[in-house]
Amino acid sequence: MSFVDDPPIAADPAAGVATQVDAARPDLVTGDRPASASQGTVQVRTEAFEGPFDLLLHLILKDEVDLYEVNLSTIVDAYLAEVERMDLCDLESATEFLLIAATLVELKCRRLLPVDDSVDLDEELGFWEERDLLLSRLLECKTFKDAAKVFEQLAERAALSAPRRAGMEERFLDLTPDLLSGVKPEMLRRAFLRVASAKPEPTVDLFHVTAVKASVSDAIAEFVRDLPAKGRVTFRTLTSGHTERVEVVVRFLAVLELFKQGMIEIEQPGAFGDLTVEWIAGESDVNDALAGADLYEG
């Protein structure tokens, strides 16, 4: 999921989101790290953001001057917009990004809505746990990030010295044992394949997961098709046929996206009440809505 070939955010049709994100992350377009491997660099697949923690840390800590001014809404929006832009090519990474998106969105909802005392205590504790887990994982990630910086400095410093590798003088060579004793041609073949073979395609372990179609743009398309005819409908109804968490998450993201674009109205009778969704946009806006979301490949 390299961003190298992505159009700049400003060109993104989802301008409503884009402007906000752009302001929050002026460095995203120019890239604050090399997105492509330079000549001679280890050919690790470089991604603009190495995972959801990386992205979230960046969003929260990017501007250390304003550490205390960080606004959760801005961060959630920027995070969702970034996830939206990504070409999430495998379900595994998509799920991680989306699960954290779900936690963030829930966090944001808590801030916006009054606390409901009647809420299920187990659920409440569950959410606290999730939030604390996210926090500790972020701290762990940050710890290793900082350690990696020191690794880089150590490697740079070490690279200033070249080791002596000239080896034995000719007259001693006869004394050394035959290095090829015991080496079989097959060992050479395996050694060659080990060092020269392409990495296997990133595979998703589908052993326990049936292929889940999780695409925000598909969900948007589905809503754009179905919602105008349905009138007011609850989010629960919209997701009733979907048991996979990631499917519910992408539909929730789709609802947020449509809301942002002014296509739908959202109502919630009280904290943790059922979300009600109503289509309010005209026919002409539909294409914009569809163009506004990048694909999540499930």
Partner 1 sequence: MHHPEDPNPTAPEGPAFDDTAFDDTAFDDTVIDLTEPSTDPLTEASRAIEAIVMVATDPIPEQLLAQLVELPVVTVRAICADLANQYLAEGRGFQFVEVAGGWRYQSHPAQAPYVERFALEGQTARLSGAALETLAIVAYKQPISRGQVSAIRGVNADGVLRTLEQRGYICEVGRDDGPGQAILLGTTDIFCERLGLGSPDDLPALGDFVPSAAVVEALEQTLRVDDHPGGDADASADHAAEA
Query: Considering only residues 153-212, where is the footprint of partner 1 by CB under 8 A?
Result: 153-170, 172-173, 175-189, 191-199, 202
Segment 61 to 120, residues that bind partner 1, using CB under 8 A: 61, 64, 67-68, 70, 72, 75, 90, 92-93, 96, 100, 107, 110-112, 115
Q: How many residues bind to partner 1 according to rule CB under 8 A?
A: 104
Name which of 142 and 213 has its Cβ closer to partner 1.
142
Residue 38 binds partner 1 (CB under 8 A): yes
- Packing angle between helix 91-112 and helix 245-260, nearest 10 degrees? 60
Name which of 166 and 229 has its Cβ closer to partner 1.
166
Name which of 69 and 283 has its Cβ closer to partner 1.
69
Least distance to partner 1, CB of residue 82, Å: 14
Residue recorded with tokens 């697949």:
45
Q: Which of 15, 20, 29, 142 binds partner 1 (CB under 8 A)?
A: 142
Least distance to partner 1, CB of residue 250, Å: 19
| Interatomic CA distance for residues 106 and 152, integer angstroms | 37
Let me know: does 244 contact 212? Beta carbons within 8 Å: yes
User: Which DSSP helix (H) or strand (E) runs through 266?
Assistant: strand 264-267
Structure tokens at 291: 């163009």
Structure tokens at 279: 């289509």
Let me know: does 264 contact 278? Beta carbons within 8 Å: yes
Name which of 165 and 211 has its Cβ closer to partner 1.
165
Structure tokens at 171: 């007259």
Name which of 95 and 261 has its Cβ closer to partner 1.
95
Structure tokens at 263: 């296509």
* Part of the chain binding partner 1 (CB under 8 A), chosen from 129-137, 207-215, 256-264, 286-294: 129-137
DSSP secondary structure letter of residue 274? P
* Part of the chain binding partner 1 (CB under 8 A), chosen from 57-65, 255-263, 270-278, 287-295: 57-65
Half-sphere exposure of 262 (CA within 13 A, CB side): 9
